Amino acid sequence: MTATDLRPARAAAVPAVPARPRRRWRALPALLFLVLLAGAWQLMAVLLDSVLVPGVPQIVTELVEIVADGSFAEQLGITVLRVGLGFALAFVVAVAVGIAMGRNEFARRFFEPAVLLGLTIPGLVWALLCVIWFGIDLVNPVAAVALSSAPPLMLTIYQGTRSVDPDLLEMAHVYRFSRATRLRRLWLPALAPALFAGARLGLSLGWKVIVLVEVFGMSSGVGYQLNNAFAAQNVAAVLAWTLLFAIVMAVLEYGVLQGLERRTGRWRKAVSV
């Protein structure tokens, strides 16, 4: 036996993990798309030479004025409050119903028609019905957002519940976890991907419905301002409000949802290593 035989064996080679792209380059594709979109719009505005198709400088000027006079922050706060309350209500109901559908056959058959019906009804119908039923009260936008957001949330949570590892459920049963402990320690972490997928879809539908509700039956909010700009035939203002609304959605997606999703998914990466 030689000295080399007494050396400790080297650890098994770990496959190289491809390096992630640098953070400063991550936003480059999105910025390139926005630049091309703005250039294409400006070219179309020049070629058409119509008041109905304002150029990029006009839209930017209108956007700066809306932000500078404080109307955007005020109206956005009102709209965000309505969406937040409606989505919170939909989230609580969807988690309870979605888990029940995934765990109980009777509950699945009972709630399935309601989910399918909710998915097929257009947001415009929810907006009109809530305006008729509740008038200009706060219940109107909250109910409209909840009714439009809850069905896709229920569906994604139901599908996520069906994919939970049965061994985890058996372990929770053996150790006699309480319902609160199961919800906090088992269901919510396991359903995190489904919850975020449903949240994205539900929020996108909620934003669309809240604009319709504010156009038809409210005297404040971003939708109300869009309706005023439309009535004045100010296309630049309509596009400016739309762009600001889209910017808020982008901030919510990239700044909030993706950050929370990465934070809640850390345990998955640790397990997979």
User: 5 — alpha (psi -120 to 50), left (phi > 0) or beta?
Assistant: alpha
Q: At what angle do helices 139-162 and 192-217 cross, to 10 degrees?
A: 160
Dmax over Cα atoms in the chain, in whole Å? 94
Express as a percent the part of the chain with pLDDT over 90: 20
Tokens, residue 66: 């809306």
H or E element at residue 179: helix 179-182
pLDDT digits (tens, 9 = 90+) for 233-242: 889 999 998 8
Express as a percent the part of the chain with pLDDT over 70: 85
Give the residue-averaged pLDDT of 87-115.
91
Instruction: Enter the DSSP assignment of 164.
Output: S
Average pLDDT, the chain: 81
Give the model's confidence band at 261: pLDDT under 50 very low, under 70 low, under 90 confident, else very high.
low
CA distance 153 to 230: 33
CA distance 201 to 159: 15
User: What is the reported pTM?
Assistant: 0.75
H or E element at residue 241: helix 235-251
When comparing pLDDT for 221 and 18, which is higher? Answer: 221
Mean pLDDT lowest for which of 17-21, 23-27, 116-120? 17-21
Ordered by where they begin, the domains of the chain are 54-272 (1.10.3720.10)
Amino acid at residue number 145: V
